[in-house]
Amino acid sequence: MVDVKSDVNKTTRGIQSRNREEVTARILAAAEKVFAEFGYAGASISRIAASAGIPKSNVVYYFETKEALYRRVVGEIFDIWRAAADSISEDNDPIHALGEYIDTKLDLARTRPYGSKVWANEIIQRAPIVQDYLEDELRSWTENRIAVIEAWIRKGQIRPISARHLLYAIWATTQHYADFTHQITTLNDGVELTDAQWGDTKSAVKDLLLCGVALPGRNRI
């Protein structure tokens, strides 16, 4: 005998779960934009709710405090950036791996610029909200990537460079295209970069950064 009530309950729970995910995604997208534009101090739950197009009570239901919402936004930004570096693995070819990382970071600068601005604003203010995140998550992730790059160096796959400063250079260069979009647009005759120009940008940035990494005679990508 078919348990109709059970099937209805499962369907209802499924719909509720999807609705919850959709609302949460709307809140996070709005919060990322508002925190980027107004900073932590200037942002408010009311402003975020208005940007998301939902009642303030809904935001508070999903995130009890502004700090909880902010930390979730910062955490998701870091998770996205961390996933972008999955190619940096000891088993991968270093030039292709680093090139893929640079490509992905530039794609994120174009598609998720607000996330980069939230991160930059927090760091400029000496990380008053997520200093613990820097000391734990970011430190561990960075040391792991440094270990991979240094392994490539020991194997003679890339030049003996500072792995730490290579990462800093990649971060600074790729995030420039998110944090200084207005400057870039202004210098591009007041219009956003086209797809073709973004392609040229990725090629140029990879050429500049990987030039200092590749062994003599090694073609860059």
Does residue 11 carry a pLDDT above 50? no
58 and 91 assigned to the same domain: no
Does residue 1 carry a pLDDT above 80? no
Which CATH number fits the domain that encloses residue 203?
1.10.357.10
Domain boundary among 26, 41, 64: 64
Residue 201 lies in a domain: yes
206 and 158 assigned to the same domain: yes
Residue 114 lies in a domain: yes
Is 110:198 a contact under the CB 8 Å cutoff? yes
39 and 137 assigned to the same domain: no
How far apart CA 188 and CA 28 sit, in angstroms, is 31
78 and 59 assigned to the same domain: no
pLDDT band at residue 216, thresholds of 50, 70 and 90?
confident
> Mind listing the pLDDT tens digit for each residue in 172-212?
999 999 999 999 999 999 999 999 999 999 999 999 999 99
173 and 194 assigned to the same domain: yes
Taking the CA atoms of residue 70, residue 74, residue 79 and residue 85 in that order, the dihedral angle to the nearest 10 degrees is: 170
Counts of helices then strands in the chain (DSSP H, E): 11, 0
Least reliable range by pLDDT among 131-135, 142-146, 186-190 = 131-135
pLDDT of residue 12: 47
50 and 134 assigned to the same domain: no
60 and 99 assigned to the same domain: no
**Which residues touch 163 (CB under 8 Å, ≥6 apart)?**
145, 146, 149, 150, 153
- Length reported for the chain: 221
101 and 205 assigned to the same domain: yes
> Mind listing the pLDDT tens digit for each residue in 33-77?
999 999 999 999 999 999 999 999 999 999 999 999 999 999 999
pLDDT of residue 173: 97
159 and 127 assigned to the same domain: yes
Does residue 13 carry a pLDDT above 70? no
How far separated are the first and last CA of the chain, in Å rounded? 63
53 and 132 assigned to the same domain: no
Mean pLDDT score of the chain: 91
Inter-CA distances, 23 with 16, 54, 75, 158, 179, Å: 10, 9, 18, 46, 27
pTM: 0.86
Q: What is the number of alpha carbons within 13 Å of residue 72 lying toward its C-beta?
A: 16
Domain count, the chain: 2
Residue 198 lies in a domain: yes
**Which residues touch 210 (CB under 8 Å, ≥6 apart)?**
95, 98, 99, 102, 220, 221
**Which residues touch 114 (CB under 8 Å, ≥6 apart)?**
32, 33, 35, 36, 37
Q: To which H or E segment does residue 210 belong?
A: helix 195-211
How far apart CA 94 and CA 190 sit, in angstroms, is 37
Domain range for residue 50?
Answer: 15-64
Residue 97 lies in a domain: yes
